[in-house]
Structure 1
Amino acid sequence: MTQPEDRCVLAVDVGGTTIKGAVVDEDGRFRHSLVVPSQADDDPVKAVRSLCLRLRDDALALGVTPAAIGVVTPGIVDEVDGVVRYAANLRFRDVPLRALIGNDLGLPVAVGHDARAAGVAEAVAGAARGLDNFLLLPLGTGIAAAVVVHGMPVSGATASAGEVGHMPVYPGGEPCSCGQRGCLEVYASAGGLARRYARLGGTPGSDSRAIADAVATDPVARAVWDDATQALGTALATLTLTLDPARIVLGGGLADAGALFFDPVRDALRAALAWRNPPPVLRSAFGAQAAQVGAAVMARREAGLPVPDAWGAPELVPPVG
């Protein structure tokens, strides 16, 4: 008979490029991880369901019994009904993930937004631990925000809260895939930075890390980097004036650049707030795995299991790669 300490939860983070899955034990340790292509150009729903089944079977092979699964995606996510209403990078529209995965696995399923899930992780055991009001912005393929107010992630009237990547920061600027111009995501997401760098004459195929490494010697890299940090600082000033967060947490690949990234972002934020002090801007404690840890927390709550303070702390989560 399975003892309580043999229980686990499954955590799945669906991205535009990859799907990351993990078996997470009672103490918040990652016992096993999987990464597969999301196959956004083929059948991403099938890819998600296949990984979830494989993850359940792997957990059973490890001798632990899944109590629930948490699955998080980008886009407009109806967390109450467990439906992804729209996710452009995944080509999801009205996908009933909770019903599909629940039928496949026979487990309770928590479905959530990846940025809000990352905010849950940072609040429980990361850079926003102990705070009731904060912002988390993971800077990845796109940009969304977890807006936490009075201890609760805000989803909004249409489950679209936090889509700050489409906040205009350069009115009349470069076109965005959403149909607007000058969106934050065009300039300050990892994907947008790479696209602008290549379009302006930089080395094709360079990612945000390569661009950061080239800032000191490559004028094109310096120009797109300066545009990105200025755009983000401007956006953070608007969010600060609107929401008055106690702290702003930044994650994703750009945050890995450390002071090269954080110093100009903080400077731009400070310069845009003439009459008040800016909130502290810190790096995510979990980095690229914040959403996955948040998915595990959501799964435990869905299963009625406790989530102690500091559960899933970063030292329990192995680094990516």
Structure 2
Amino acid sequence: MNQGLVLALDIGGTNARGEVLDARLGAPLVRADLPTPERDGEATIATIASLCRLLLAGLSDVDRSRVCAVGLAVPGIIEGPTGVVRLASNLGWADEPVAARLSALLGLDVVLHHDVTAAGVAEHRLGAGAGASDLLAVFIGTGMAALVVAGGEVVSGGLHQAGEIGHIPVQQGGRPCPCGQTGCLEMYASARAIGRAYGALTGDPDATSLDVVTALGSDPRADSVWAEAMDWLAHGLLGPITLLSPARVVLGGGLSASGAVLVDALRSRLDVLSHVAAVPEIVTASLGQRAGVLGSGLATFDAIERRQLV
């Protein structure tokens, strides 16, 4: 077993999380997190570097010498082999050589991963997707994306962009998305979109999807926002389910904390909408907020073995 350590990072639209992990992927040696700057690419680079330094500062001199790489899971359209983020609108990056820049700042190899691919791999190997060889793991938070597993293998696509389910257009000429398109699914069914829709009705600019779930059954405005979002989510997922016929759908990300409220609402709508595809088993992710970090660690240790980084 690899005796080195990895700084495993998961950079979300709201929070940047990090852990120092060994190859057993048990309890972290050190854990830290920082708020993610909103759409400021330079500030995001600085935040990630600061997070790595926080993690390193928590290690003994001996353990610090064992750190062999940084695993960096980020949202957006990425090129893992080159370490370039082609587009991460929520982080303020476009055609940014993120891995190379951070490697120069930290003096460590940086291995770039898609955040949802990382979290999905963790759920597939360690969590709610274990045992399913054909799987769709959908993560719903600030944005939306998915991991596709077919025949036990992760599907990255010939152009390495498989899984961008949040940017499937579901309404022609619909709401503008930061990606530059209009009518993207995540503008209607992401946790952020749900919170904003409720805020528009209540006058609360800080409203969240959790506020909506909490108010279900007691506030007709919350009921309306939730029902509309679930309709859009079912509509958006029906295409991939029909095309791929997964045995299981794992729902992760912040919205999955609503548990059975989310699962039952989605299943009931898919049962009504689907006249061709069999509706698969639908479950919520089991690894919680650690999924992205664990997946980043898994994928980075895989890369170390494959590329012999150390």
TM-score, length of structure 2 as denominator length: 0.89
Give the equivalent residue in structure 2 for 1:13. 10
Report the CA distance shift for 1:61/1:191 in structure 2 as closer, same or farther (over 3 A).
Answer: farther
Q: Distance in 2 between matches of 1:289 and 1:85?
A: 25
Q: Distance in 1 between matches of 2:82 and 2:271?
A: 40
Give the equivalent residue in structure 1 for 2:34. 36
Q: Is the 1:122–1:129 contact (alpha carbons within 8 Å) kept by the matching residues of 2?
A: yes
Give the equivalent residue in structure 2 for 1:185. 186
- Superposition pairs of residues 99-118 of structure 1, within 5 angstroms: 99-118=100-119
- Is 2:128 aligned against 1:127? yes
Give the equivalent residue in structure 2 for 1:56. 56
Deviations 1:208-231 (A, max 9, x none): 111101111111111110011111
Report the CA distance shift for 1:139/1:85 in structure 2 as closer, same or farther (over 3 A).
Answer: same
Q: Distance in 1 between matches of 2:158 and 2:258?
A: 35
Q: Is the 1:10–1:299 contact (alpha carbons within 8 Å) kept by the matching residues of 2?
A: no
Give the equivalent residue in structure 2 for 1:23. 20
Identical-pair percentage: 38
- Is 2:97 aligned against 1:96? yes
Deviations 1:63-89 (A, max 9, x none): 462232210100111011111111000
Deviations 1:111-131 (A, max 9, x none): 110011111101210111133
Q: CA deviation at 1:162?
A: 1.4
Larger deviation: 218-227 or 37-46?
37-46
Report the CA distance shift for 1:230/1:299 in structure 2 as closer, same or farther (over 3 A).
Answer: same
| 3-state SS of 2:166 partner | helix
Q: CA deviation at 1:246?
A: 1.8
Report the CA distance shift for 1:274/1:98 in structure 2 as closer, same or farther (over 3 A).
Answer: same
Q: Is the 1:170–1:231 contact (alpha carbons within 8 Å) kept by the matching residues of 2?
A: no
| 3-state SS of 2:221 partner | helix
| 3-state SS of 1:9 partner | strand
Larger deviation: 296-305 or 219-228?
296-305
Q: Is the 2:137–2:146 contact (alpha carbons within 8 Å) kept by the matching residues of 1?
A: yes
One-letter amino acid matched to 2:129? A
CA RMSD in angstroms comes to 2.2
Q: Distance in 2 between matches of 1:238 and 1:5?
A: 41
Q: Distance in 2 between matches of 1:304 and 1:126?
A: 23
Q: Distance in 1 between matches of 2:272 and 2:185?
A: 18
Give the equivalent residue in structure 1 for 2:45. 45
TM-score, length of structure 1 as denominator length: 0.86
- Superposition pairs of residues 1-321 of structure 1, within 5 angstroms: 7-28=4-25, 29-40=27-38, 41=40, 43-60=43-60, 63=63, 65-201=66-202, 203-304=204-305
How many pairs align?
A: 302
One-letter amino acid matched to 2:50? S
Q: Is the 1:59–1:66 contact (alpha carbons within 8 Å) kept by the matching residues of 2?
A: no
Give the equivalent residue in structure 2 for 1:312. none
Report the CA distance shift for 1:134/1:202 in structure 2 as closer, same or farther (over 3 A).
Answer: farther
Give the equivalent residue in structure 2 for 1:308. none
Larger deviation: 253-262 or 188-197?
253-262
Larger deviation: 83-92 or 196-205?
196-205
Q: CA deviation at 1:207?
A: 1.2
Q: Distance in 2 between matches of 1:109 and 1:172?
A: 39
Q: Distance in 2 between matches of 1:170 and 1:132?
A: 32
Larger deviation: 221-230 or 61-70?
61-70
Q: CA deviation at 1:255?
A: 1.2
One-letter amino acid matched to 2:226? W
Q: Is the 1:109–1:302 contact (alpha carbons within 8 Å) kept by the matching residues of 2?
A: no
Unaligned runs of 5+ in 2: none
Q: Is the 1:15–1:73 contact (alpha carbons within 8 Å) kept by the matching residues of 2?
A: yes
Q: Distance in 2 between matches of 1:234 and 1:260?
A: 18
